[in-house]
Amino acid sequence: MNSSAPNDQILVQLVLEKFDQLFETVNDIPDEVINSCSPIEGSNSPVQILLHCCGMMRRWSSTVNLGITVPRDRNAEFSAKLAKPDALNLASETRTAFVADISRTELHQSPAALPPGREIEYWMATCEGVLMHVYEELCQHLGHLEITRDFLCRPAT
């Protein structure tokens, strides 16, 4: 990140804190339910939520903000099954790559490659706005993950 402005530092820290909370939540879920979903149609497993967040983060930090394409199969994120160590390793690699992306990002500049086929939204005006969107998505999915964990780890009745 080519800015030392306090607000920029705060935004990046908030994004990383939410991602770390996702990581720790998945880490704390028992291995035997890590790939399980609630019986609600269209629900996702903890692994699927984490993988989706990994794909989302890199899409916005690299593909959009820097113009460096990171291959992503969004649909596969929602059907994936991985052992916990593999999912957490992927998440660690994603975090490292995200931090590297941010170190090369001019937050107050326009993104290098807006997503084709998607309506342009106000927050896409700057790379900082894109990171605000990443933060918003991580907050949403952390809540989703916490509800999923609470359901999967509830005491048997």
Q: What is the CATH number of the domain that holds 62?
A: 1.20.120.450
pLDDT, one tens digit for every residue, the chain (157 residues)? 655 567 778 999 999 999 999 999 999 999 999 999 999 999 999 999 999 999 999 999 999 999 999 999 999 999 999 999 999 999 999 999 999 999 999 999 999 999 988 899 999 999 999 999 999 999 999 999 999 999 999 987 7
Considering the domain boundaries, does residue 18 fall inside one?
yes
Q: Which residue has the tokens 């939540």?
A: 25
Considering the domain boundaries, does residue 133 fall inside one?
yes
Cα first-last separation, the chain? 50
Residue type, 155: P
Considering the domain boundaries, does residue 157 fall inside one?
no
Task: Using DSSP, state whether 78 is helix, strand or coil.
Answer: coil
Cβ–Cβ < 8 Å for 109, 26:
no
70 Cβ contact partners less than 8 Å away, ≥ 6 residues apart: 58, 59, 62, 63, 97
* pLDDT given at position 3: 55
Entry pTM = 0.94
Considering the domain boundaries, does residue 83 fall inside one?
yes
Range of the domain at 74: 6-152
> In degrees, to the nearest 5, what angle opens at C-alpha 42 toward C-alphas 35 and 116?
100
Considering the domain boundaries, does residue 97 fall inside one?
yes
134 Cβ contact partners less than 8 Å away, ≥ 6 residues apart: 15, 56, 57, 60, 61
Considering the domain boundaries, does residue 55 fall inside one?
yes
Considering the domain boundaries, does residue 1 fall inside one?
no
- The CA-atom distances, in angstroms, between 104 and each of 26, 41, 137 are 29, 40, 22
Q: Looking at the 3D structure of the chain, how many domains does it have?
A: 1
